[in-house]
């Protein structure tokens, strides 16, 4: 399957989706959004893929929307803009509900929609030189699509600060406020992500990961009683899976599992 704006490969049970528009700082447009959706679907269906890494070629992770794309959107009707917005919405929902963990490997700028792409991932590992921000308000736009995911990551107070000021923060500050999960030296970023991915694929049940992500995706819209009732059902169902039966037997026999 060929792509024009990204590369796709998998090895060692890890799928690598690599934004490949370095001359445009990996800015996205309608083509890239559709290709990302296709690549994530491919990785989710692949039986030999346990973890997905979203990364980018060049000095930037993703600088947001392509300038020519923004100019095109400004000429759209409301209906055309709504259709385009819903395409991005479907990508974010797809990533959020995906049955396999997604790790964002971030170097350089991750801004606007690029920061949104990272925010929707399950885990974000960034280099020391990475910067994050939602500068949409500075050009009269809003980061509406990613807001719900940002609030879940950092809380409403921090989300309001980032979105209302449009400021850019360092990877260290992003780590401090809980936006990202780890910071490492630029030269060690690729290996750090690889080791992290292999650890998940080796030590964690794929079935458990899929069920955990399903629970996360549904809990936020439920009241406490409904959330606990749903969690109880999922708990009971998990006990019936082959992975759980295998895990219990290994625990009883004091055997180390390799998933």
Residues labelled catalytic? 136
Phi, psi angle pair for 178, to nearest 5°: 90, 10
Q: Hey, which residues does 127 pair with through a beta bridge?
A: 184
As to burial, measured by CB atoms within 10 angstroms (0-12 exposed, 13-18 middle, 19+ buried), residue 230 is: middle
167 is written with which tokens? Answer: 């400021």
**H/E/C letters for each residue in 97-163?**
HCCCCEEEEECCEEECHHHHHHHHCCEEEEECCCEEECHHHHHCCCCCCCHHHHHHHHHHHHHHHHH
| Contact between 24 and 59 (Cβ < 8 Å) | no
| Contact between 121 and 96 (Cβ < 8 Å) | no
- CA 186 – CA 193 distance, rounded (Å): 11
Question: Can you say how many angstroms the Cα of residue 36 is from the centroid of all Cα atoms in its chain?
Answer: 11
As to burial, measured by CB atoms within 10 angstroms (0-12 exposed, 13-18 middle, 19+ buried), residue 177 is: middle
Give the count of beta carbons closer than 10 Å to the beta carbon of residue 238.
Answer: 16
Question: What is the end-to-end Cα distance of the chain in Å, rounded?
Answer: 28
Q: E strands of 172-258, at which residues?
A: 182-184
């Amino acid at each position: 399957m060929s792509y024009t704006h990204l590369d796709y490969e998998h090895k060692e049970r890890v799928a690598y989706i690599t934004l490949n528009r370095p001359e445009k700082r990996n800015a996205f447009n309608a083509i890239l959004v559709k290709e990302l959706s296709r690549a994530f679907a491919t990785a989710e269906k692949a039986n030999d893929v346990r973890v997905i890494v979203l990364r980018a070629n060049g000095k930037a992770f993703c600088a947001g929307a392509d300038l020519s794309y923004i100019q095109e959107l400004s000429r759209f009707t409301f209906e055309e803009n709504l259709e385009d917005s819903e395409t991005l919405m479907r990508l974010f929902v797809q990533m959020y509900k995906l049955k396999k963990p997604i790790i964002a490997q971030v170097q350089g700028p991750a801004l606007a929609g690029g920061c949104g792409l990272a925010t929707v991932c399950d885990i974000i590992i960034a280099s020391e030189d990475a910067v994050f921000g939602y500068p949409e308000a500075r050009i009269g736009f809003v980061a509406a699509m990613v807001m719900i995911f940002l609030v879940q990551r950092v809380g409403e107070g921090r989300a309001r600060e980032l979105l209302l000021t449009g400021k850019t923060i360092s990877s260290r500050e992003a780590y401090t406020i809980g936006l990202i999960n780890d910071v490492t030296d630029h030269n060690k970023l690729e290996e750090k992500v690889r080791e992290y991915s292999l650890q998940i694929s080796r030590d964690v049940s794929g079935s458990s990961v899929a069920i955990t992500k399903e629970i996360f995706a549904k809990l936020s819209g439920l009241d406490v009683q409904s959330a606990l009732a749903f969690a109880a059902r999922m708990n009971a169902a998990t006990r019936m899976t082959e992975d759980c039966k295998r895990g219990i037997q290994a625990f009883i026999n004091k055997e180390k599992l390799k998933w």
